[in-house]
Structure formats: C-alpha cells, structure tokens
C-alpha cells in the first residue's frame, strides 16, 4: 500500500512525457493558483517509449536540468505514471471499516482483479464515498501498477536529490486539476459534461468529466509529432500565430514546422482535425446529463459536418 500516499510538503510537479520533462511550481492565494516556475527540458529519442521510461539515466539528467533551470527550492516532487500501465477498479466495501481493516479487505479483493502476483505491484486505494446503490457500503477505487514502472519514476526523481512524495495516475491527476477549474464554472461544474484533451507529442489523452468526475478516459496514438518524426517540437508562443499551410489530406495533422504544439498546448486552428477526431469519439458514445452514454442527435451531426467545412475553408 502507500502507492499514492503523501505527506504535507510543498511540491514541485514533474511531468515526464515521450518528448520532454516539464517542471511546474504553483502557489496558492485564496481560491486561486499562480504558476511560479515552469520549465521544459527535451528528452532524447526513445528515452520514453510507450509511456514507460526506457533510459533512466537520460531521463534523470533531464529532470535534474529542468529542476535547476526552474530555480525551485522545493525538494519534494509529484509525478504521475501513465494510466495505460495502471489497472483501476471501482468496488464496493462495507462502510465504517478502519483503514487497516479496509487495507486487508482490499488486498483480498485485489486478487480477483489484478492479473499479477501482489508482490509484483504497487497497490493503493481511495474511498470515494457512500455507494449510490447501497448507503451501507462505500465506493472505493483501487489502483495497481507493476513495480518496475513505478520504480523507474522514483529512480529518476530520487537520483538527483528530490523526494517523490506523490506518485499519481495521470488520469486521476487531470481529474484533480480539473476540479480546481470547475469551481469557477457556473454551478461549480455540476450537471455538465466536459472533455479535457491533452495534446502530446505522440499521444493525445482525452478525459471526459461529468459532475466533476471522470467517466471516460482514452489515449489516442497520435500527436504533434506524427508519423514517427523524431525532430523536436517548437514551443507555443502565446499570442503568436504559425504560418498557414494547407493540410496534406483531410484529417491529418500539419507538418511540425507549421504546428506549434508542445506538451499539452495547441496553438490556433491547427488543432481542428485532431479536435474533430476526438469529438467523434465523444459523439459516438454521447452523454446525457445523468452520465448515461447515449447516441447523439442527428442535428448535432449536421452541425459537426458544417463546423468541419468551416475549419477546412480556414486552412
């Protein structure tokens, strides 16, 4: 246990993707957060492959450079492993159990859901709250990840003087971050369905929220660095606009010299084909205000086709 547990320390966030290491430090004032420090350090090709660290030394050096460039004094770090390497399951447990009793029960239940010996995984859980179907039970999320995946993330952080206080799952981290934004939405984000889309270099992650809770997550194997192009991506320049080029064919991403994509940022209208492709997934599954997936209305499909045409005309 203790996979996601943490103590109360000032934290610096470290995001390790296929193309770069990003370091961010936030400060809080009232209900608002401020970015104090933010740096991006590129990674060598194949240092991270399929969301797993394959070159601990190179990734560790990139983390060290990024932390030093940021100027942060925080020595405790938060990292997140890719959800593709994590097995998650929502289960119901008897309410009112003490933590050690809950741990014992979950370890017994985990054998039914995890296809690996428990000694080969890091296992943790989070109590969500009373079950909707039975108020005498609690809804619990369990998460398990192979130890070698987690150990590599810990190694690149610990190897350069930082303490990994939090090892999260990226989908859960996005959900938590969205919760901070949702507070500023009308009604606190309740009774709303929102898609949070993270455009990466090689993977695009989509997380659909309903009532501020994640109801659908999926990784799509395309991003700013498409077709295996190893050249680094240019960072986004806020307020700037990359030169316009025609799409090579409908639905493809542009050449890297015309797409200003870095990490989770997308500049201008270049996101159009990728956005429409992702929203195809949302439309095919749909969602009503109760969270049930439903088929989209034909009128919505017509509006989507018209929006696609407007996007093609602009390019």
Q: For every residue of 247-305, which 3-state class applies, written as one string? A: CCCCCCCCCCCCCCEECCEECHHHHHHHHHHHHHHHHHHCCCCCCCCCCCCHHHHHHHH
For tokens 């014992």, what's the residue?
104
- Of 304, 84, 291, 300, the C-alpha closest to 204 is 84
Give the pLDDT confidence score for residue 3 in this predicted structure.
53
Give the pLDDT confidence score for residue 140 in this predicted structure.
92
Give the pLDDT confidence score for residue 113 in this predicted structure.
86
Give the pLDDT confidence score for residue 31 in this predicted structure.
78
Helix, coil or strand: residue 23: strand
Instruction: Answer whether 241's CB lies under 8 Å from 234's CB.
Output: no
Instruction: Answer whether 69's CB lies under 8 Å from 35's CB.
Output: no
126: which strand partners?
Answer: 141
Could you list the beta-strand ranges (E) of 106-184: 121-130, 137-146, 163-169
For tokens 């799509």, what's the residue?
220
The full length of the chain comes to 315
Neighbours of 196 (CB within 10 A): 18
Neighbours of 179 (CB within 10 A): 14
Give the pLDDT confidence score for residue 42 in this predicted structure.
95
Q: Which CATH number applies to 89-146?
A: 3.30.1490.300
Give the pLDDT confidence score for residue 222 in this predicted structure.
81
- Containing 29, the helix (H) or strand (E) segment is strand 20-29
Cα gap 275→282, rounded to integer Å: 11
137: which strand partners?
Answer: 94
Pairing of strands 137-146, 163-169: unpaired
Q: What is the pLDDT along the chain (315 residues), one digit of tens a residue?
A: 555 554 567 899 999 999 999 999 998 888 788 899 999 999 999 999 988 999 999 999 999 999 999 999 999 999 999 999 999 998 999 988 888 899 998 988 888 888 899 899 999 999 988 988 888 999 999 999 999 999 999 999 998 889 999 999 999 999 998 888 888 888 888 888 999 988 888 888 899 999 888 888 888 888 877 644 444 444 443 333 333 333 333 333 333 332 223 333 333 333 333 334 444 434 444 433 333 333 444 554 554 455 445 444 444
Give the pLDDT confidence score for residue 312 in this predicted structure.
44
Domain with CATH 3.30.1490.300 in the chain: 89-146
Give the pLDDT confidence score for residue 264 in this predicted structure.
34
How does DSSP classify residue 231? Answer: S
169: which strand partners?
Answer: 81
pTM: 0.68
What is the homologous superfamily of the domain 11-83+148-167 according to CATH? ATPase, nucleotide binding domain (3.30.420.40)
Both structure tokens of 18: 């296929």
Domain with CATH 3.30.420.40 in the chain: 11-83+148-167
Give the pLDDT confidence score for residue 284 in this predicted structure.
42
Give the pLDDT confidence score for residue 8 in this predicted structure.
64
**From residue 16, how far is each of 11, 20, 108, 207, 269 by CA, in Å?**
16, 6, 33, 19, 26
208-217 burial, b for 16+ CB within 10 Å, e for fewer? Answer: bbbbbebebb
Give the pLDDT confidence score for residue 153 in this predicted structure.
96
């Amino acid at each position: 246990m203790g996979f996601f547990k943490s103590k109360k320390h000032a934290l610096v966030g470290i995001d390790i993707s296929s193309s770069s290491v990003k370091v961010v430090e936030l400060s809080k004032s009232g209900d608002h957060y401020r970015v104090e420090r933010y740096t991006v350090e590129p990674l060598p090709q194949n240092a991270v492959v399929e969301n797993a660290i394959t070159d601990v030394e190179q990734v560790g050096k990139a983390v060290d450079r990024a932390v030093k460039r940021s100027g942060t004094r925080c020595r405790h770090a938060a990292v997140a492993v890719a959800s593709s390497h994590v097995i998650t399951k929502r289960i119901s447990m008897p309410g009112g159990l003490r933590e050690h009793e809950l741990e014992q029960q979950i370890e017994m239940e985990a054998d039914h859901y995890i296809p690996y010996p428990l000694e080969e995984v890091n296992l943790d859980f989070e109590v969500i709250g009373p079950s909707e179907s039975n108020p005498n039970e609690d809804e619990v999320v369990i998460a398990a990840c192979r130890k070698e995946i987690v150990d590599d993330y810990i190694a690149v952080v610990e190897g350069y003087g930082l303490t990994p206080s939090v090892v999260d799952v990226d989908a859960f981290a996005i959900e938590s971050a969205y919760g901070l934004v949702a507070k500023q939405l009308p009604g606190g984000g309740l009774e709303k369905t929102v898609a949070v889309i993270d455009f990466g270099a090689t993977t695009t992650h989509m997380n659909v929220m309903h009532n501020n809770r994640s109801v659908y997550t999926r990784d799509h194997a395309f991003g700013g660095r498409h077709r295996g192009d190893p050249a680094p991506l240019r960072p986004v320049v806020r307020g700037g606009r990359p030169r316009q080029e025609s799409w090579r064919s409908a639905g493809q991403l542009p050449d890297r010299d015309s797409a200003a994509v870095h990490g989770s940022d997308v500049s201008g209208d270049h996101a159009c084909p990728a956005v429409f492709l992702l929203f195809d997934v949302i439309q095919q599954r749909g969602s009503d205000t109760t969270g049930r997936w439903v088929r989209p209305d034909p009128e919505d499909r017509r509006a989507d086709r018209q929006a696609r045409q407007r996007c093609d005309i602009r390019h």
